[in-house]
Structures are given as C-alpha cells and as structure tokens.
Amino acid sequence: MSTRVLTGITTSGTPHLGNYAGAIRPAITASTQPGTDAFYFMADYHALIKCDDPARVARSRLEIAATWLAGGLDPERVTFYRQSDIPEIPELCWLLTCVTAKGLMNRAHAYKASVDQNTAKGVEPDDGITMGLFSYPILMAADILMFNAHKVPVGRDQIQHLEMARDIAQRFNHLYGRDYFVLPEVVIEEEVATLPGLDGRKMSKSYNNTIPLFEGGAAALKAAVMRIVTDSRQPGEPKDAESSHLYTIYRAFATPAESAAFRAQLEGGMGWGDAKQALCDRLERDLAPMRERYQELMANPGRIEDILQAGAQKARKLAVPFMEELRQAVGLRAAAAPAGKAAGKKTGKAARFVSFRDDDGTFRFRLLGADGQELLRSRGFANPKEAGALLQRLQAQGGHDFLQAEGLAYAAVLDGDTVAQGPQAADAAQRDALLAQARQALASLAG
C-alpha cells in the first residue's frame, strides 16, 4: 500500500536558495521513493492572507511552479496542482468550519501572536486581524483532508496546525458517524538543511537576507554570495569552518568529500574572497542546468499552465466524488447517480410515478426522480387496479417506513411483501445515496 504525502508552498514570493535546499529539493527527492503517492500544491488561497498585491501573487504562482519543475519534479509521477484550481477545497473548508470550535482557533499560534502584538501596541486585540488569518488552520486542514494524506512534512512551527487538522477530522468523523477522514501524521524533517542568509540569520524574505535561486542569473547569485558576512581573519590565517556561513551553505550542496576538502582549505588559511568564489562555483554546478530549464519554462507560461491543469484534473478525480460523499454525509444533496443514467440533467419536472404495461402483459409502475432517474420499479400485477392501489399507497405514505436496503439495492416492502425494487448500485455508498433520493422523491409526492 502506498503512503500519500502532501506538501504545499505559499505563493507570496520568489523562491530563494534556502527554499530550495530546505523544502523543494527534499520534497522532489521524496517523490521518487517507492510506495510514495505525492501531492504537491501551490497554496495560492493561503497567499491572500499574507499578500494583498495581486501582481505579486500571480507572478509567484508562475515562479514557484517553474522552480519545482526545473528542480526535477516529474508531473507524471506526482499530483502537482494549484489550490485554487480545486473548488472542492474551499467547499470542504466551509464544512470543516461548521464543526470547528472557535476556542480551538483562539489557541492558534499565529492568531495569538497577532493579538499579543496589538496588546503591546495598546490597540484593540483584534485590530487588523482578518478572518483569513484567524481561520488559516481550517483551510490548511481542508488541503490535507481533501486527499486524506497519511503524512505531511512540515517545519516545527506548523506542528500545531497538523494537530488541529487531526482534531477537526476526528470531530467530523464523530459527528457524522464514520471515518471519512484519515488522521494525518506530522513528519519533521530533522536533517533538512536550514541555510543561513547573508547576515547569518536563517535565510528568509522577512530578513531581506536571501540568496536568489534562479532570478537574476549567475551574476545575481555571485553578487549575493559576495555579500555574505564573514569575520576579519585575513588570507593565510586559519578559519573556523564550523562557524562559517560559507561552509554551511557549501556543505548543503556538496558531496562529503567535497565538503571535507573545502573545510581543509578554510582551516589552511584560504582567503574569504577565494572561499566565496569556490562557493559560487559549487552552486553553479547544480543550479546552472536548472536555471536554464527555469528560464525556458518562464518564457513559455502556457506549458506551465498545461501541466498544472493536468495536475488539477488528476486531483479532482479524487476530490469530486469524495466531496459528493461528504455532501451526502451532512445532508446537503445526494451523490451522483450510476453511470449511464440521467442524473444531473435538468428537465424542469418534479418526481413522479409512471404506470405502464410491460411486454409480458403485466401492469407495473415506476418512480422517477425530478431528473428522470428511475428510483423504483414495481413487480408485475395482473390487475391494473391492484397496481394503481399500491401506487397510491406508496405515494400517500412517503418512503421512510417501507423502503429497505437489500444488498446493493433497496426495495419497497408493504405488509411483508416486496412490491417494488430500486436499481442495483456499484457500492453501499451509492446505494445509500439512491435510497435517500427515493425517500426524498416519495416525501415530495406525499406532501
């Protein structure tokens, strides 16, 4: 059995070297492992919480998709899509919102941090806090639960959100009496590289200390590396490799043998200028081929769009029927009718009974839904009056008392006698959906 792994990246900026080493590269590597069913998506709905610049969000969606593909992600092997191309995700988000306690959201770290900042500034606790920020964990839960991911790799700052997703899933399962959702497991990547930025702090757009991955080409990469802060030791003086940001970044891309050689050179007195050039050369070996693919993709956005739409189709093959099942669970609507039937085709008609004489000379009646779907077919009667009397009895009583499931079908049973049967379903869930449609149709006729 394969393990479904799901990872998302927010489309609010341009990927940098730290994003690649810390998230993109390990995710791509993981997707190639046997028994892994990988779902990777661009969280562009989440970006709206953090960014109100439409041009930046649109550009970021393109850049991030091109980065993953240039980095070696195989869209034939994984399901790669944009969050906003799956309309079932926000629909599920609302279903989950309706079962999520506000108190749970009050405890979310991001919300509490914003409240604390407002309190420190002496303004209203919720000043400037949107419902997007407040309910962010529910949308994240919908991302995960829509595809019933088994494992979700996250940083330590996201562990609470995974715990909330599990709480929400358990609540829904309990309320609606079935394990609709798998409880996702958090995966902490302890060995994933966390790269220092130009100033030694964690590489982050928030600190404006990033090294570009592809944007600006080799010149921009070299210019950033040359700005990395080093100590005052001169050429010829031994350097402390372990405390050197240059060595940390070099080690994240080099082989063990290459790292050992670079370390020996630093400890042997290599100058910082030469060390920075050596780092540039090592990074270029990996990044130059990917940068070329990235530039080709960015010059052909239609190719990226085709890949993402194909990924969305793969994702929706799972999302659409699952959402139908969840709608049925909460009582919103029936699931899809069996293949080949006219479910979903609007005829403008109400549910109705139709009487007819069969080829064998017996008299029968059928119950048709508003969409023309046959929901019941009676057994044959020799006397049309007998068939008519039973039809009127079914119509007068509604369908909750005498409609009974029988295997993968259902039947109308009056006084211990089966008088009509429903269609054969593919599975129990489809049978239950059809049974609900039949009861609804009979109830409308009785009314």
Positions at the binding site: 10-12, 18-19, 143, 155-157, 195, 202-206
Q: Which amino acid is at 281?
A: D
Q: Which helix (H) or strand (E) holds 267?
A: helix 256-267
Contact indicator for 200, 214 with CB cutoff of 8 Å: no
Q: Reduced to 3 DSSP states, what percent helix, strand and coil does the chain have, rounded to the nearest 5?
A: 50, 15, 35
C-alpha 362/C-alpha 339 separation (Å) is: 29
SS3 for 215-252 is CCHHHHHHHHHCCCCCCCCCCCCCCCHHHCHHHHHHHH
Contact indicator for 197, 209 with CB cutoff of 8 Å: yes
Tokens of 312: 């969305």
Residues placed in the known binding site for L-tryptophan:
143
Contact indicator for 324, 335 with CB cutoff of 8 Å: yes
Q: 391-403 in b/e burial notation, b at 16+ Cβ within 10 A? A: beebbeebbeebb
C-alpha 178/C-alpha 128 separation (Å) is: 39
Tokens of 218: 């080799």
Strand partners, 229: none
Tokens of 190: 């302890």
C-alpha 354/C-alpha 394 separation (Å) is: 13
C-alpha 356/C-alpha 33 separation (Å) is: 60
Residues placed in the known binding site for ATP:
10-12, 18-19, 155-157, 195, 202-206
Strands of the 363-368 sheet, one edge to the other: 352-357, 363-368, 374-378, 417-421, 409-414, 403-406
Please say whether the dihedral angle defined by the alpha carbons of residues 268, 272, 273 and 279, taken in this order, is positive or negative. positive
